[in-house]
Amino acid sequence: MKKTIKSLFFLLCIIFLQGYAASNVRAKMAGILTSDSLHQAFLDSDPYQKRYILKYMPYWLEKRGVSYLPAWVDGAVNYSLYANDAMLIYEAVSFAGIFKMRGYSGRFMQLYDEAHRKHPADAIRIRNAVIDALDNIGGIEADTTIPQLLKYKPYYCLDDEFIKLVSAVGRHGDSTHAGDLKNIEDMLNDIIAGIDKDNDPGRYYERYSEVYKIVAEVRNALERKGGLK
């Protein structure tokens, strides 16, 4: 019990400090009046502060009536996408998606592929951000990149992120990607066949069956699209 209380206290301290740091950065940004000064603040900040500068920058730009991205932002996003800090990466991906910044699809694919190996605690968050960013950017970049994410294994089929990916493939893919989904269907079939329905406290039979249904529906929809876009 004492160990549990100590762990809970430690977690609450971390949450408090994170909230304090975030509000501190936001307050500091409120006093920055020019794009050049904000750029300098970004350069002078540690990775923890950088993530909040990216997070709050859309509000900073809107409040100052800036309708374009300053030239230095592209370099800041590119730097952040290659950082070691998982949450800085997440904020950079999200930022690129919000402003529909093109040209990062290659790095997005790498991040999606390596997320569970390099950033296991934040892997789902990063993967979700990659899908959302590409989906929002749209166009040929999304059409060519999102279906490619299906090629990265292992599949984490019971994560909401996987369902989000399959749904996005349905929007951006075509019949040439139906084969990848069929392979996943076969894999899910094997998993389902190996589950004892009468001894399944985790409801895995039901959960995998629901994922199978979604994958099959998307595959059928892609096959109806016919050839390439």
Cis omega (within 30 of 0) on the bond before 154? yes
CA nearest 82: which of 137, 53, 119, 116? Answer: 119
Q: Is 186 within the bounds of a domain?
A: yes
Q: Is 14 within the bounds of a domain?
A: no
108 with 190, same domain: the answer is no
Cα(13)–Cα(227) distance, rounded to whole angstroms? 55
Q: Is 199 within the bounds of a domain?
A: yes
**pLDDT of residue 17 exceeding 90:** no
152 with 190, same domain: the answer is no
Cα(75)–Cα(69) distance, rounded to whole angstroms? 11
Q: Is 216 within the bounds of a domain?
A: yes
Q: What is the C-alpha end-to-end distance of the chain, expressed in Å?
A: 60
Q: What is the pLDDT of residue 4?
A: 58
Which range marks the domain in which residue 38 is found?
19-158
The neighbour count for residue 78, using CB atoms within 10 Å, is 15
Total of domains in the chain = 2
Q: DSSP assignment, residue 148? A: G
Cα(20)–Cα(70) distance, rounded to whole angstroms? 28
Determine which of 6-10, 27-31, 33-37, 83-87 has the lowest per-residue pLDDT on average: 6-10
pLDDT tens for 147-163 read 999 999 999 999 999 99
**pLDDT of residue 172 exceeding 60:** yes
Q: DSSP assignment, residue 174? A: -
**pLDDT of residue 58 exceeding 60:** yes
Q: What is the mean pLDDT of the chain?
A: 91
Query: pLDDT-derived band of residue 37, with 50, 70 and 90 as boundaries?
Result: very high
Tokens 């997005």 locate to 108
183 with 139, same domain: the answer is no
**pLDDT of residue 202 exceeding 80:** yes
Cα(187)–Cα(119) distance, rounded to whole angstroms? 26
pLDDT tens for 64-121 read 988 899 999 999 999 999 999 999 999 999 999 999 999 999 999 999 999 999 999 9
Q: What is the pLDDT of residue 24?
A: 87
Q: What is the pLDDT of residue 1?
A: 55
The neighbour count for residue 217, using CB atoms within 10 Å, is 14
85 with 125, same domain: the answer is yes
Query: pLDDT-derived band of residue 21, with 50, 70 and 90 as boundaries?
Result: low
76 with 105, same domain: the answer is yes
Q: Helix, strand, or coil here: 153?
A: coil
Q: DSSP assignment, residue 126? A: H
The model carries a pTM of: 0.88
Q: Is 107 within the bounds of a domain?
A: yes
Tokens 């749904």 locate to 167
113 or 7: which carries more pLDDT confidence? Answer: 113
Cα(178)–Cα(90) distance, rounded to whole angstroms? 30
Q: Is 225 within the bounds of a domain?
A: yes
Residue 136 near residue 101 (C-beta atoms within 8 A): no
Q: Is 9 within the bounds of a domain?
A: no
Report the run of H or E that residue 98 belongs to, with start and end: helix 86-98
pLDDT tens for 109-146 read 999 999 999 999 999 999 999 999 999 999 999 999 99
Q: Is 4 within the bounds of a domain?
A: no
